[in-house]
Amino acid sequence: MKRDFLDLGDFDAARIGQLLALARELKAALRAGRAEPLLAGRSLAMIFQKPSLRTRVSFEMGMYQLGGHALYLSPDEIRIGERESVPDVARVLSRYVDAIMARVFAHAHVQQLAEWASVPVINGLSDYSHPCQAMADLLTILEKLGTLRDVRLTYLGDGNNVLHSLLVGGALMGMHVVGATPPDYCPDPDTVTLAEGLAEQAGGSIRLTHDPVAAVREADVLYTDTWTSMGQEEEAQRRNAAFPPFQINEELVAEGPSIAGIMHCLPAHRGQEITDPVADGPLSWLFDQAENRLHAQKAILVHVLEE
């Protein structure tokens, strides 16, 4: 049975813990100069509907470091779902490569790829979830704080794909996740219900609020993302009017005496969701977090491809 990696909700806490442990092992091996070619001769097709610095470089270098090969397919080369149907793309690529990573707009496209491909499919980002980013985030928090259980993570901003994956991933690992969003930008209710159930089982909690100041007062970690994602450009003016109270700035950080770190999945629109003094300050984990995309995704690649 092939192993897809589409959403963190498809896994239990034990499996997520195993992947995080593997990511730490692979990171340590790389830094010690003893990385093993665990995926020698294996190949990954990378489908991009949206451009990305971190996703492309981390997956491509991850496959290289593991002894495999990654093939970049730009938005104009396939136009998946337009020039060629998703099932046909899945079946053709399955004849050429050992796995598929897709960074897409519609989550349905990732699901269809997984349904029709005979090789593993990895969700590199969709409009619903960003599980690879969340794995890098969990790895970063684990490294910085030594544990995930009972860590208090506050996310401020849009109730988007990143928040969905943080809610589910944090719940699985026994964290206390707060989502602070404007009233019109709440996360998907079904995902919140799923996360609440997982958190109850793991001893964590999920809380939603529209009060950014109250949300940060008990936080160990603050997290934010862009206010307007690719594909939402027509909403930018309305969003820019709704989100300023949720900006992570020095004044808001001062409201949280327990804050140990600041996170952002990047790219950052400095001066909007986060200010320069915070992004570049002593509490910033932004670039450790970006680096960990490489190590977390190497663990995911080994998970889906190693026999």
- Note the pLDDT of residue 75: 86
Supply 130's token pair.
């960003």
Fold held by 133-289: Rossmann fold (3.40.50)
pTM of model > 0.95: yes
- Note the pLDDT of residue 233: 76
The residue behind tokens 């964590």 is: 204
Q: Please pick, among 130, 176, 239, 295, the residue that the annotation labels catalytic.
A: 130
Q: Please pick, among 7, 132, 239, 265, the residue that the annotation labels catalytic.
A: 265
Q: Please pick, among 65, 112, 133, 247, the residue that the annotation labels catalytic.
A: 133
269 tagged catalytic: no
- Note the pLDDT of residue 228: 82
- CA proximity to 25, closest of 307, 300, 305, 295: 295
| DSSP string covering 105-137 | S-HHHHHHHHHH-SS-EEEEE-SS--HHHHHHH
164 tagged catalytic: no
103 tagged catalytic: yes
Pick the CATH number of 8-130+292-305 from 3.40.350.10, 3.40.50.880, 3.40.50.1370, 3.40.50.300: 3.40.50.1370
- Note the pLDDT of residue 79: 82
225 tagged catalytic: yes
- Using 50 as the pLDDT threshold, list the residues of the chain that sit under it: none
9 neighbors 202 (Cβ within 8 angstroms): no
- Note the pLDDT of residue 125: 97
Q: What residues does each domain of the chain span?
A: 8-130+292-305, 133-289
- Note the pLDDT of residue 307: 67
Q: Please pick, among 42, 54, 103, 109, the residue that the annotation labels catalytic.
A: 103
Domains 8-130+292-305 and 133-289 in one fold: yes
